[in-house]
Structure formats: structure tokens, C-alpha cells
Amino acid sequence: MDQWWLPLALGVLATLTVYMYVSRKHLLVYVAHYKSMPTRNWILRADPDPEVERWRRRRLLVTGLLLVLVILQLVTFIT
């Protein structure tokens, strides 16, 4: 039985779990500082507050990693 996809799927699940934590932390810090939800362009615009920016960058990093892992998973299922 060929289970080559299993480590990749576990990586996606682990990254999704980290993404959920980092996203929640980013939102909590943002709302605590600005008393509102981030706008849609949070991904494109740096934040002047260092604490909010630190969590925004972590969220961007995990978002990119999750995107790459999901694309790899899709490619491996297609081929």
C-alpha cells in the first residue's frame, strides 16, 4: 500500500492548526490595539505598531506555507 501522501497531509493539518492559532493571536492583538477588525488589505499593508506587525508577519508566513502545502497536496493527487 502506497501512503506517500500521508506525511504531506499531516503537514497540512499541522500547519492549519498553527495558522488558526497565529490568526487568532493576530486578531486579538489588532482588536486590542485598534478596537476594530483588520481591513481586507491587512495582507498588503504593514502596521505601524510593532506588536501587531510581528503577529501579522507570522500570519503571512504561515499563510504562505499553508498555501504551498495545499498546492503540493493537490499536485500529488492529480499526478
In tens, the pLDDT along 28-56 reads 999 999 999 999 999 999 999 999 999 99
Between CA 70 and CA 37, with CA 14 as vertex, the angle to 5 degrees is: 80
Q: Per-residue pLDDT tens for 11-21? A: 899 999 999 99
Q: In the chain, what are the domain boundaries?
A: 6-78
| 1: confidence class by pLDDT, cuts 50, 70, 90 | very low
At 46 the pLDDT is 95
Q: pTM, whole model, 2 decimals?
A: 0.84
- What is the Cα–Cα distance from 77 to 34, expressed in whole angstroms? 43
Is residue 15 within 8 A of residue 66, CB to CB? The reply is yes
> Cell numbers of 50, please?
510593532
